[in-house]
Structure 1
Amino acid sequence: MSISSERRSRGVLAGVCLVAVALATVFAVNSGSTQANSANPAIAAGSAATGSTGHQLHFGVAYGNTLLGAPTATVDAALNDAVAVGAEWVRVDLPWIAIQPTAESGYDWSGLDTLVIAAGTRHLHVDPILDQVPQWARASDCASDYECPPADPNAFAAFAAAAAKHFGPMGVDTWEIWNEPNLKAWAPEPDPAGYDKLLVATSKAIRAVQPHAYIIFGGLAAVATDPSLKQVSAYDFLAAVGRLGGTRYVDAVGFHPYSAPVMPSAATNFANISSTPYNLVAALAQSGTPDVPIWITESGANVAQAATDPTAAKPATQQAEQEQAAYATNLVQTVAANPHVAADFWYADQDAPQDKLFFGLRRANGTARPSFDALKTAIAQCRCDSGN
């Protein structure tokens, strides 16, 4: 995940402003085209909510790397939260480095098997993020960073195909290729041409095993193009890959439009999906793939005060948590109003203080924040055009 300028800036939002912004969402209008039909059974048959524009909208919870190899009790509690808030998807890391740390070791899928089985019993679909190349498979000039791409895209594609072969019979047929490749998460700096090669090779390899697999373009960070920071805007990166033909190999494009403390309905990051002059939908249309939908594979709001007040004992922290809850409500309303958005994943289930991340629906001690019930209520109230 990225820390954009909007996410860095914190401040107390006045209660009346929160109400005004939330009400403004009701009147938000986004122009759109018909969402592409999916061949993936999980997408086509899943019990998606339908927003005010009549498009299917799937909700999920993003867990990052917190559940890979975690104890069964931890996995069960985390997935129970997804069910409780009304989500039908979970997004988790599937790092190659953890599956095959050495060239000779072979693939060890056991770290994710528990999660996939537990998700299946709860009728939850899994969006695994394929990334993090082991040292032995990186280029020699970029061997010290696990975020470096593979020396050979076909080697990564072989890993992805093996994952599809292993987890396909367990119900997994959706795959997200890398995470935030428009940042230094593709080390040492973003490379649209390099990502295009990886994306095409990996998509082909997965579909050779799973012809109807659903492939997601790795979630793009909502940042501005800035060579000094080694980052490329989501529009610029997507347009560059599209010109090379890469968007023809995906079923959806991942996007991470964090915007707190600005509410989604008023945020440029969310307008960049389809409303600003240089938006993701426009980039897809220019590439000849106008019907590819946007999957918000990460969204959420940080409670920075939790770093020093983990139990929310102070009024300022309690106020920040109320703002996070209002953000969750506004987020669901905003994505439901945009027909180009087909899925939204809240990051995260629980705070990760070791990583200085406080986006959780739960605090580090496991207690629920107001955002838990706010997200649950907002998802439940996301109705179809008929009002049912």
Structure 2
Amino acid sequence: MILNARTVGMGGRSRMRKFGMLFSITLICLSVFIMAQPTQSAPEHERTTQQSSVRGFVLGQIIDPNTCSITYDINRVNQALNEIQPNWVRVNLIGASPNYGCPDADAEYTKVINAIKNANSNIIGLLSQDFMKDLPYTNYTSGNWSIYTQTFAAEAQSIAEQSPYNMIDVWEIWNEPDFLAPLNETQFAELLVEAEQKIAPVISGGVTPGNPIPYLQNVSSVLQTNHGISLTQLVDGIGIHPYTIVGYDSNGSNGLDDFLYAFNQAFPGEPLYITEFGWAVPPESQVMQCQYLIDSYNLAIPNQNVQAATWFQLEYYNEGAKEWGLYDINNQKRLAYYGLQDLTCPNTLPTPTPNPCSSSNANNISLSEGVDNICPTATLQYVSRGSYGVGTNCANPTASPSSNNWRFRADGIPAGFEPVLLTDGDSAIWRKAPPCDSVSRWPLVATRDVAPGVGNTYGWTIDVVGWPGTLPTQGRTYSLTLRNGGNDFTISTIARP
């Protein structure tokens, strides 16, 4: 297990600071003398975690950031800890800063952290924009941003030195800096520098599909220019949020594998923390959610760089139409809950049955209302199962993107829908104009009414368009799937050369 060996009086620090600006010339000389001795030190990022010990889940919201009200049930948390026995739990420390003003924050986080530690689990403590209350960070000028980062780091240190927060094993700085809570590369670099001086160990906040590697490479360039240190020298690991689609019929060929491959190539040997990954129900079924979880862990566990993989998330809160939790909106356990226990889905999983409202062949599917009005609507969904890629080129559909990539194209879409250009590993549907809208990060669903007694046949062709460049792996298989009434129909399979 990765457990902090904390030094008394160091505010929870577990290692010497990495960059020279923190030391005097005398200490630098002393460190050079020590390094010259015959004694060998362990590699800085030596992995000590057992491969099976990456399982875990996210506690996304303990406290409502707007009202300071309690939004979780400690009994469900304890139940999950006892039954799942996770190796990692990621806790979003909303309002934990002393200046936030939530009167019950310390008491609630004490309950949660003690419960997690009593279950012998490690903790990832997330410090993001809701950690402390201040002026909106997006309104900060570059000059004021340094004030914000210094205050942020000082507030982080103030809790890290006290119980219960001194039991946190890894500190994650910011949540999705490239997407949900966007910071430019300079802002994120300076925030990491300030935080790393006050608390440890530190990992960079989870980045999302899109352009995560160029974003972090730019962060590293800023660090080199301003502080003479790279990102991997500064932090103890990189947080990632590989929200890619894995289908139950994918046989392991999915975007997560290539996402990890890309990070292993860009940041070789750097510990990776999958601090969020998940699949919503709806639009997917519980069966597919559970299998997605298992497929993902089967890819993450053998990866030597993966330290933790925490499922998003334990229970429902403020998720709207999409539910990600291991508990559903009625606080009932989903199949994925049991899947996280031993990485197998229960034997009672329902077997998909043929849909009486549709038929399919290699290039089209017929959707009709069926008998006795039992099929008033039909849903078409286009799901690609392929490798991780960066970006799409929607402005000119016939042009090659600047990055090495593969792309699917579907033609002959029903009236009112437009072709969607997909980046491998993402999911989207045939949807309304504009036809060159960027691909959604999440699976979406569209419905078309079918008039009573009327059959509709939709046809298409599929082109796989490839561009020059080295791809991580060969021999992958991709499938085009239509979803109707909760059942999948794979209508075409294309193998990569």
Per the shorter chain, which TM-score range?
0.5 to 0.7
Q: How far 1:176 moved relative to its partner?
A: 0.5
Q: Does structure 2 conserve the Cα–Cα contact (< 8 Å) formed by 1:61 and 1:345?
A: yes
1:282 aligns with 2:265: yes
Once residues 350 and 140 of structure 1 are traced to their aligned partners in structure 2, the CA distance between those partners, rounded to angstroms, is 29
Aligned to 1:296: 274
> Deviations along 1:165-184, whole A, 9 cap, x unmatched?
12467522321001100114
Q: Which of 97, 101, 107 is the equivalent residue of 1:110?
A: 107
- Assess, with a 3 A threshold, how the Cα gap between structure 1 residues 140 and 349 changes in structure 2: closer, same or farther: closer
Once residues 180 and 336 of structure 2 are traced to their aligned partners in structure 1, the CA distance between those partners, rounded to angstroms, is 30
> Deviations along 1:248-283, whole A, 9 cap, x unmatched?
221111111112354693233441222xxxx22233
Which structure exhibits the higher relative contact order, with contacts defined as CA atoms closer than 8 Å and separated by 6 or more residues?
A: 1
Q: How far 1:345 moved relative to its partner?
A: 0.6
Q: For residue 273 of structure 1, what is the amino acid of its counterpart?
A: L
Following superposition of structure 1 onto structure 2, how do residues 42-61 of structure 1 map, counting pairs within 5 Å? 44=48, 49-50=50-51, 57-61=53-57
What secondary structure is seen at the aligned counterpart in 1 of 2:73?
Answer: helix
Provide the TM-score with structure 2 as the length reference.
Answer: 0.52
Provide the TM-score with structure 1 as the length reference.
Answer: 0.65
Q: How far 1:354 moved relative to its partner?
A: 4.8
What secondary structure is seen at the aligned counterpart in 2 of 1:113?
Answer: helix
Aligned to 1:333: 298
Q: How far 1:100 moved relative to its partner?
A: 1.7
Q: What is the percent sequence identity of the aligned residues?
A: 22
Aligned to 1:74: 73
> Deviations along 1:186-217, whole A, 9 cap, x unmatched?
2xxx31111010001101111xxxxxx32111
Once residues 90 and 334 of structure 1 are traced to their aligned partners in structure 2, the CA distance between those partners, rounded to angstroms, is 19
Q: Which of 168, 178, 182 is the equivalent residue of 1:182?
A: 178
Q: Does structure 1 conserve the Cα–Cα contact (< 8 Å) formed by 2:51 and 2:302?
A: no
Q: For residue 161 of structure 1, what is the amino acid of its counterpart?
A: Q
Aligned to 1:37: 46
Once residues 280 and 137 of structure 2 are traced to their aligned partners in structure 1, the CA distance between those partners, rounded to angstroms, is 35
Aligned to 2:201: 214
Q: For residue 90 of structure 1, what is the amino acid of its counterpart?
A: V
Q: Does structure 1 conserve the Cα–Cα contact (< 8 Å) formed by 2:63 and 2:105?
A: no
Q: Which of 150, 154, 161 is the equivalent residue of 1:154?
A: 150
Aligned to 1:166: 162
Q: Does structure 2 conserve the Cα–Cα contact (< 8 Å) formed by 1:220 and 1:255?
A: yes
Aligned to 2:240: 255
For structure 2, which runs of at least 5 residues remain unmatched after alignment? 1-42, 224-229, 346-497
- Assess, with a 3 A threshold, how the Cα gap between structure 1 residues 196 and 85 changes in structure 2: closer, same or farther: same
Aligned to 1:193: 186
Q: Does structure 2 conserve the Cα–Cα contact (< 8 Å) formed by 1:137 and 1:150?
A: no
RMSD, aligned α-carbons: 3.3
For structure 1, which runs of at least 5 residues remain unmatched after alignment? 1-33, 39-43, 52-56, 207-212, 225-232, 285-289, 306-316, 381-388
Q: Which of 127, 130, 135 is the equivalent residue of 1:130?
A: 127
- Assess, with a 3 A threshold, how the Cα gap between structure 1 residues 372 and 131 changes in structure 2: closer, same or farther: same
Q: For residue 214 of structure 2, what is the amino acid of its counterpart?
A: D
Q: For residue 158 of structure 2, what is the amino acid of its counterpart?
A: A
1:202 aligns with 2:195: yes
- Assess, with a 3 A threshold, how the Cα gap between structure 1 residues 118 and 35 changes in structure 2: closer, same or farther: same
Once residues 165 and 323 of structure 1 are traced to their aligned partners in structure 2, the CA distance between those partners, rounded to angstroms, is 43
Q: How far 1:329 moved relative to its partner?
A: 1.3
What secondary structure is seen at the aligned counterpart in 1 of 2:86?
Answer: coil
Q: For residue 153 of structure 1, what is the amino acid of its counterpart?
A: T
Aligned to 2:100: 101
- Assess, with a 3 A threshold, how the Cα gap between structure 1 residues 115 and 168 changes in structure 2: closer, same or farther: closer
Q: For residue 256 of structure 1, what is the amino acid of its counterpart?
A: H
Q: For residue 171 of structure 1, what is the amino acid of its counterpart?
A: M
Aligned residues: 288
1:87 aligns with 2:86: yes
Q: Which of 118, 121, 128 is the equivalent residue of 1:121?
A: 118
Q: Does structure 2 conserve the Cα–Cα contact (< 8 Å) formed by 1:347 and 1:360?
A: yes
Bigger Rg, which one: 2
Considering fraction of residues, name the structure with more helix: 1
Considering fraction of residues, name the structure with more strand: 2
Once residues 56 and 203 of structure 2 are traced to their aligned partners in structure 1, the CA distance between those partners, rounded to angstroms, is 15
Q: Does structure 1 conserve the Cα–Cα contact (< 8 Å) formed by 2:59 and 2:313?
A: yes
- Assess, with a 3 A threshold, how the Cα gap between structure 1 residues 270 and 160 changes in structure 2: closer, same or farther: farther
- Assess, with a 3 A threshold, how the Cα gap between structure 1 residues 115 and 158 changes in structure 2: closer, same or farther: same
Q: Does structure 2 conserve the Cα–Cα contact (< 8 Å) formed by 1:128 and 1:176?
A: yes
Q: For residue 87 of structure 1, what is the amino acid of its counterpart?
A: P
Once residues 373 and 324 of structure 1 are traced to their aligned partners in structure 2, the CA distance between those partners, rounded to angstroms, is 11
Once residues 99 and 169 of structure 1 are traced to their aligned partners in structure 2, the CA distance between those partners, rounded to angstroms, is 13
Aligned to 1:235: 213
Q: Does structure 2 conserve the Cα–Cα contact (< 8 Å) formed by 1:117 and 1:170?
A: no
- Assess, with a 3 A threshold, how the Cα gap between structure 1 residues 156 and 137 changes in structure 2: closer, same or farther: farther
Q: How far 1:96 moved relative to its partner?
A: 4.9
- Assess, with a 3 A threshold, how the Cα gap between structure 1 residues 121 and 268 changes in structure 2: closer, same or farther: closer
> Deviations along 1:237-257, whole A, 9 cap, x unmatched?
111122222332211111111
What secondary structure is seen at the aligned counterpart in 2 of 1:219?
Answer: strand
Q: How far 1:357 moved relative to its partner?
A: 3.8
Once residues 169 and 361 of structure 1 are traced to their aligned partners in structure 2, the CA distance between those partners, rounded to angstroms, is 25
What secondary structure is seen at the aligned counterpart in 2 of 1:345?
Answer: strand
Aligned to 1:378: 343
